[in-house]
Amino acid sequence: MSQPAHASPHTTTDDTTIGEPALHGRAAIVTGAGSGLGRATALALRAAGADVLAVDVDGDAARRTAAQSPDTAGAGRADAFAADVTDPAQVDAYVARVQEVFGTPTLFFNNAGVEGAHTTLADTTLESWFSVVNVNLHGVFLGLRAVLPVMAAAGGGAIVNTGSLLSLKGAPARADYVATKHAVLGLTRVAAAEGAAAGVRVNCICPGPVDTPLMSRSEHLVNPDDPQFERRRFIAGTPLGRYGTPQEIAHLVRFLLSPGVDYLTGAAVSVDGGITAV
């Protein structure tokens, strides 16, 4: 179907019509959009005027995200798509879907991930290892591989990959998660270097503990008898003394995807309540 012309993907806010949201007319993809950071970011991008394809392996969760409308004048549209980010054909399918419904994507939150097994390296099973690597690493790689050429052909765009505080440091009993999140940061830097000439910016957010379903599952995996103890332990180690909220992370992602930060690419942006500062 024919699509309306989109704003230039890498111009400053000076070209935004007065009264229009900053991302008006942009097409966006958010993976892992069924809950947590993905859902909050899908809503934040829509509130800024972007048209968002909410992608999740759980199609019902993706549809719930798409059905949740931000209470903002000029909010963008939404569509939902069920896809397994570890399957190259399904990744290509979500890129084709956003092009069909909203036009060429110039915004991409490459976010889908899983928490890992919380076992020592020696006790990590091959099944568990490959399960985490497939989602956290291969899923991010496949998303970049599919989206980067499309954005480059369109004249540019912006991508944010979801790394972690554990993209920057190690932790016991987290071999699978730490390895994949370090790799996500490496992929971010490669993609930023390769995309720069085509006007594609690629950055990586490195969240600390955030109050999401993934964090709750981690608390239960570490201490099934007393998950609240784990929550208190994480909070005690965070200078700001609390978990982050999905909305706080979503505001950062929206900023990183927005016009006006065109000189920022290849960065690891910590958002961890001060953990890496001490």
**Tens digits of residue pLDDT in 119-165:** 999 999 999 999 999 999 999 999 999 999 999 999 999 999 999 99
**Across-strand partners of 157?**
200
Rounded to whole angstroms, how far apart are CA atoms 197 and 228? Answer: 48
Confidence band, pLDDT 50/70/90 cuts, at residue 4? very low
- Whether 15 is in a domain gets the answer no
Degrees (nearest 5) of the Cα angle 55, 137, 77?
20
State whether 75 and 170 are in the same domain: yes
What confidence score (pLDDT) does residue 2 get?
Answer: 38
pLDDT for residue 239 is more than 70: yes
Examine the domain organization and report whether 92 and 215 are in the same domain.
no
Residues 235 and 123 in one domain: no
pLDDT in the model for residue 20 = 63
Asked whether the beta carbons of 79 and 53 are under 8 A apart, the reply is yes
**Of these residues, 94, 177, 243, 263, which one is catalytic?**
177
Radius of gyration of the chain (CA): 18
For residue 231, being part of any structural domain is answered with: yes
Q: Which domain holds residue 239?
A: 210-243
246: part of which helix (H) or strand (E)? helix 246-257
Whether residue 219 sits in one domain with residue 99: no
Q: Is 5 part of any domain?
A: no
| Mean pLDDT, all residues of the chain | 92
Query: In CATH, what number is assigned to the domain containing residue 94?
Result: 3.40.50.720
Domain-embedded: residue 278: no
Count of Cβ atoms closer than 10 Å to residue 73 Cβ: 9
Over 60: is that where the pLDDT of 18 sits? no
Q: What does the pLDDT read at residue 247?
A: 97
Task: State the pLDDT at residue 262.
Answer: 95
225 & 112 share domain: no
Q: Are residues 188 and 121 located together in one domain of the fold? A: yes
Same domain? For 238 and 122 the reply is: no
**131-153 burial: b if 16+ Cβ within 10 Å, else e:** bbbbbbbbbbbbbbebbbebbbe
Q: How many domains does the chain have?
A: 2
| 136 plus 218 within the same structural domain | no
Residues 182 and 88 in one domain: yes
177-225: per-residue pLDDT in tens?
Answer: 999 999 999 999 999 999 999 999 999 999 999 998 888 888 888 778 8
pLDDT band at 19 (very low <50, low <70, confident <90, very high): low
Catalytic (active site) residue 177: yes
pLDDT digits (tens, 9 = 90+) for 258-275: 999 999 999 999 999 999
pLDDT at 15 over 80: no
Two tokens, residue 117: 């097994």
pLDDT tens across 68-109, in order? 988 888 999 999 999 999 999 999 999 999 999 999 999 999
Same domain assignment for residues 99 and 226: no
Same domain, 32 and 167: yes
CA atoms within a 13 Å half-sphere pointing along the CA-CB vector of 197: 4
